[in-house]
Amino acid sequence: MTRRFEDRVDVDGLTPAERARLEHVHDLLVAAGPPAELPRDLERPPAQVIQLPLWQRRRPAAVLALVAAAAIAGASFAGGWFANGGERMRVTQVVALKGPSMEVASLRVGTPDEVGNNPMVLTVSGLPELQHGYYELFMVRDGKPVFPCTGFRVTTGGAMSVRFSVPYSIHAGTKLEITAVQRGKAKWPGRTVMQSV
């Protein structure tokens, strides 16, 4: 199955602004990855299923926004279970990050363990490989990176995921950023390449 935007969305008649907005949502969905396998206790709906009316063809932005909202809600609540180093992690929040061009990332936040560590999975695509450096994910406070979450390297053009945990919480509205730390080019914490949206 293809992941190209043009193969999934009818772009005829879209303005450049509409197309850019739809491509942004598409990139976030691709970065979030496929939904996790549904636990057995959630296979049957807990209540009556309400069917929504079919959208008209001239409203592709509304349809894609509905799909994005459903995917994020499903990943966060009903389908938010996936393997994490042999353990199960229940996803409670998904944070999207975006760079100035095609770089996208998503951070899945799990429920804290018994001692207060918060498991997380960062999925990134579109970042270039750094020859003499690495990338770092930070929590941001007052516009500045304050708490490092994890460091990682990428290969050119590839999507990758990093599993880690932190001893502090990420709440709704927490700002995040990814920086590029290159030897001899920028002091730590590095140059910002992506920010939460």
Q: Which residues contact 10 (CB under 8 A, 6 or more apart)?
A: 57, 60
User: Domain tally for the chain?
Assistant: 1
- Is 49 domain-assigned? no
pLDDT value of residue 177:
94
The boundaries of the domain holding residue 86 are: 5-35+54-196
Residue 44 lies in a domain: no
Helices (H) and strands (E) in the chain, counts: 3, 9
Residue 89 counted as domain residue: yes
Q: Does residue 41 lie in a domain region?
A: no
Task: Please tell me the predicted confidence (pLDDT) of residue 28.
Answer: 81
pLDDT at residue 137 in the model: 93
In the prediction, which pLDDT does 74 show?
47
Model confidence pTM above 0.85: no
Are the C-beta atoms of 167 and 147 separated by less than 8 Å? no
Report pLDDT for 84: 40
Judge whether 177 lies within some domain. Answer: yes
Does a structural domain hold residue 172? yes
Rounded Cα–Cα distance for residues 141 and 147 (Å): 9
* Structure confidence at residue 119 (pLDDT): 92
pLDDT of residue 50: 59
In a domain, 162, yes or no: yes
Residue 169 inside a domain? The answer is yes
| Residues of the chain scoring pLDDT < 50 | 1, 55-58, 72-86
- Here the CATH number for the domain that contains residue 77 is 2.60.40
The predicted pLDDT at position 138 comes to 93
φ, ψ of residue 103 to 5 degrees: the values are: -75, 130
